[in-house]
Structure 1
């Protein structure tokens, strides 16, 4: 049984695919930022309870420098605020991505029913994919999906550079 896949449906499938990649990347980024925040907060707590302030060193790039406790506290506060801002941005973007994915999922399942699988974590082997193509007749326009993914890869690389820059600026 062949199913006609319109250009509009193909576009929605590719958009969903790119959003899914973005969703996974954002989840990973949020996890890393959460870990970095936890580390900064731990450092902040340690700095508060240290007996001799001269025991604390501030990491600047690859070097460590002595600094007074007020400077260290201010720097940790600044870094925590910066990470929290980026984390909030990522969470907002994740929610927006999730919302758009849900809308697309609803449309695509409405159009294709059980002949399309958009659920996370389901990976088909090559033979299963071929069987699926034979059974459903769905053959995605791989060129369109590839172009969509390439634009997302460029966006992802820009996000990673931005994240790296923030981490360099805010690393303890």
Structure 2
């Protein structure tokens, strides 16, 4: 009986895929990429809120009654009074800068997600259901 149970154990272990060092490195890379993508998604949300704030500020300047009255513009934690046209210029520059940041972040996320799909495909092909590589966008 012990011989047949040893054979059964050998057959069972042969049918399960073996995790190699390279596989573990791919799994670790997937985790790092997933964390980076999550960080970038959070930065994108923050920057989009900033863009909404810039848009609201520009709208407020346009709705102001007088072009000659100074506008209070926030620089860091201080408000500075300046002409409306100067404030609009600064808002436009800030909007362009943040928009460029968002576009760069979105491109990086797309690149990361593509790498993650490749890793997932390779790992699931070899290891099947013995691993679970779920990222935040899968849920």
Query: TM-score, normalised to structure 2's length?
Result: 0.82
Instruction: Provide the secondary structure at the position in 2 that maps to 1:92.
Output: helix
Aligned residues: 121
1:76-96 Cα deviation digits (max 9, x unpaired): 000000000000000000000
Q: Counterpart in 2 of 1:73?
A: 88
Larger-gyration structure (1/2): 2
* Among candidates 52, 55, 58, match of residue 38 of structure 1: 52
Unaligned runs of 5+ in 2: 1-12
Q: Counterpart in 1 of 2:29?
A: 15
Query: TM-score, normalised to structure 1's length?
Result: 0.67
Q: Counterpart in 2 of 1:105?
A: 120
1:69-115 Cα deviation digits (max 9, x unpaired): 11001000000000000000000000000000000000010011011
1:55-76 Cα deviation digits (max 9, x unpaired): 5201122211110111001000
Whole-Å Cα distance in 1 between the matches of residues 20 and 88 of structure 2? 58
Q: Counterpart in 2 of 1:57?
A: 72
Whole-Å Cα distance in 2 between the matches of residues 79 and 103 of structure 1? 37
Return the offset for 1:3: 4.1
Return the offset for 1:46: 1.0
**Consecutive aligned runs of 4 or more in structure 1 exceeding 6 Å deviation:** none
Whole-Å Cα distance in 2 between the matches of residues 55 and 49 of structure 1? 13
Root-mean-square deviation (CA), in Å? 1.4
Q: Counterpart in 2 of 1:48?
A: 62
